[in-house]
Amino acid sequence: MTVLKQPRLSTAIALLALAPWGSAPIVGASPIPDTAVKPQYVKLDLEKSWGEWEEALDPSPAGTGWGGWEKAIDSHDKRPAKRSLLHKRSHPVKFDMKNREVYYSVNVTVGTPEQAMTVLLDTGSSDLWVVGSDVKCTPRLKEDPTCKALGTFNTNNSCTWSGNGTRFSIEYADSSFARGEWGMDVVHVNGLKVDGLTFAVADEAASSVGVFGIGLTGLETTNEVEPPHSYDNFPLLLKRNGVIASNSYSLYTNQYNAEYGSILFGGVDHKKYKGKLLTVPIINTDPKRSSVPTSLSVTLNGVTYSTAENKTDTIHSPIGALLDSGTTLSYFPKEIADAMAVAVGAQWSEQFGSYVRKCPADNDKSTLDFNFSGNKIRVPIDDYSIYTSVPGLCAFGFMPYGGDIAILGDVFLTAAYVVYDLDRLEISIAEANYSTAEEIEPIVSGVPRAEKAPGYSNVWVPNNQK
């Protein structure tokens, strides 16, 4: 059971772009190297740290709580540039990633000589941006840490930095934002050297951490300018340069109280899930904006609250669901969130800005069962329960918001093993198996051992497209 005060800046809404935009020159694709290398995978080890921000959720007379921090969620989408060459290696590359209680971060170094900083790993966005040394910090709340706290990049101190003179800008639904300049430089990620990776350097930010977006290229901010265009972001660049065989990755966040998790670029670990790995299509949640999917969303057919005595359905018709590592909690349209609260015996508290109820007993085996096209992922109710400062009273890790899809963040992802196949526009899901054993297989053409879910062809369509 998680103990925290309130999600700190890089939570659900901090990474749900409301109206991002950006600018960069149109460029061609990177040349594919002449020398073929054996397809492999790149493994990132996650190191989870719980001590830094561990506080009890306190009541707020103003009703700010989570609702205040995340009051402006009205959208589910987030919306550089020269090419680079990767220094290829003959063995898997690993680097550490920490769970900063409300987000997963990666330690990277940028430039020559190298400058260290921490960025947030995010499946819900697609651009890399870092905090510049001359950044103007604009905290949204007085409790926000300075935007320089996790490291900055001084472009003047790097002899390999090449700015392209175009501006980068992104704004999020909670009013946080970053603005700066596009360019390229050397990026090191624990032994993996990327020469000239395109990214942005923020000179103004209302966020205390940069973002390492690894989503679909259609979500890059360069698609929001005229003329729209995309570029090779980190996972696509790994594929183009022969480091991995496919633009894909597998996310294993492990148990909340575990020290480690991992993400595999170009690979799947068969020891990290139980049962069948079932595949569903990535869906287009905004066909008016794009003819192809831009976010890593799938069809969620239902959520059932299961106890030893009975089962209560809380979603009676399919909706879209974004699987987002950059989000802490889970978000549902208000009608669905209210139904889920009723099912679990919770009620909305203006004082806490969240749904609250009596904390589950230690032997409570109740679960929230998420149905993805016939594939059931069971999440213990304990994972969705957060202690408050009131003894015996818990807040719940799902929230109402103004969108029309669900947003499933870390409280859901900790119970699932998720394989994102960006080449095939598919996501394979299974229940997580918490194990230190490994059986890693490269993803070359489709996810090995994965099968289509029973309801693969029955996808959710936005109301305005029916």
Q: From the candidates 77, 122, 382, 410, which is the catalytic residue?
A: 122
Name the catalytic one among 324, 382, 383, 421.
324
Is there a catalytic annotation at residue 58?
A: no
Three-state secondary structure string covering the chain: CEECCCCCCCCCHHHCECCCEECCCCCCCCCCCCCCCCCECEEEEEEECCCCCCCCECCCCCCCHHHHHCCCCCCCCCCCCCCCEEECCCCCECCEEEECCCCEEEEEEECCCCEEEEEEEECCCCCEEEEEEEEEECCCCCCCCCCCCCCCECHHHCCCCEEEEEEEEEEECCCCEEEEEEEEEEEEECCEEEEEEEEEEEEEECCCCEEEECCCHHHCHHHHCCCCCCCCCHHHHHHHCCCECCCEEEEECCCCCCCEEEEEECEEEHHHEEEEEEEEECCCCCCCCCCCCCCCEEEECEEEEECCCCEEECCCCCEEEEECCCCCCEEEEHHHHHHHHHHHCCEEECCCCEEEEECCCCCCCCEEEEEECCEEEEEEHHHHEEEECCCCEEEECEEEECCCCEEECHHHHCCEEEEEECCCCEEEEEEECCCCCCCEEECCCCCCCCEECCCCCCCCCCHHHC
Question: Is 369 part of the annotated catalytic residue set?
Answer: no
Point out the residues that are catalytic.
122, 324
